[in-house]
Chain A
Amino acid sequence: EVQLVQSGAEVKKPGESVKISCKASGYSFNTHYIAWVRQMPGQGLEWMGSIYPGDSVTQYSPSFRGQVTISVDKSITTAYLHWTSLKASDTAFYYCARQYDYGSWFYPWGQGTLVSVSS
């Protein structure tokens, strides 16, 4: 079964760092893009960026470039989303999703990770 399992909720203060993870299983990790998607409270889905695990080439939405870092550890088939200095406006659910093929659909999705940032 193809599956993405994300790390648990994080509660942080502004200025702190955090790295959330997305563990993939059930398919060839190296040959499918992994995307990260933000959903702020009560809002829609926003594509943040993606990574191709085979060569770790990343793409970012202009809205998120320089704000987060996407990476992978192929040895443990896990993707990461990392912030070095959180803001209150980063409070949101974050989803990882496997992209089935270039330009194609996202399936499956992880269960989501809530990141809460408050002083």
Chain B
Amino acid sequence: NFMLTQPHSVSESPGRTVIISCTRSSGSIASNYVQWYQQRPGSSPTAVIFEDNQTPSWVPDRFSGSIDTSSNTASLTISGLMTDDEADYYCQSSDDDNRGVFGGGTKLTVL
């Protein structure tokens, strides 16, 4: 099966924009939907992006998702960073048999 690789950590200042990448090891990133989850310490994960670029109704439009087939990478973009965005972020996809795959997670620090 394929793997999803994320940077271990990223940091950016409040008000700026950060992009978190998620690279698929084999097969096309466009073959299966990519989701992004936010997990704050002591809490369950919650989705911030689903089906590559869809935003749940409760998520502010500062969050957006995209895929790039040339680099086989999905990206989560957070603009107008707020200290409340500080969390771990995980990308996730499924193979054609609906077996789930998570990326290793990225710790976002807003400083």
Contacts and interface: CB of A to CB of B under 8 A. Distances in A.
B105 A110 contact: no
Interface string A90-119: 000001000110111111111110000000
Contacts of B102: 37, 44-47
A59 interface: yes
B2 to A, nearest CB: 13
A89 B32 CA distance: 32
Contacts of B94: 103-104
A84 to B, nearest CB: 23
B35 A105 contact: yes
Contacts, number: 69
Given A44-B102, A45-B102, A45-B105, A105 B33 contact: yes
A29 interface: no
Interface in B42-97: 44-47, 50-51, 56, 88, 90, 92, 94, 97
A61 interface: yes
A50 interface: yes
8 contacts: A37-B100, A44-B102, A45-B105, A47-B92, A47-B102, A103-B94, A107-B56, A110-B44
Interface of B: 32-33, 35, 37, 39, 44-47, 50-51, 56, 88, 90, 92, 94, 97-105
Interface of A: 33, 35, 37, 44-47, 50, 59, 61, 95, 99-100, 102-112
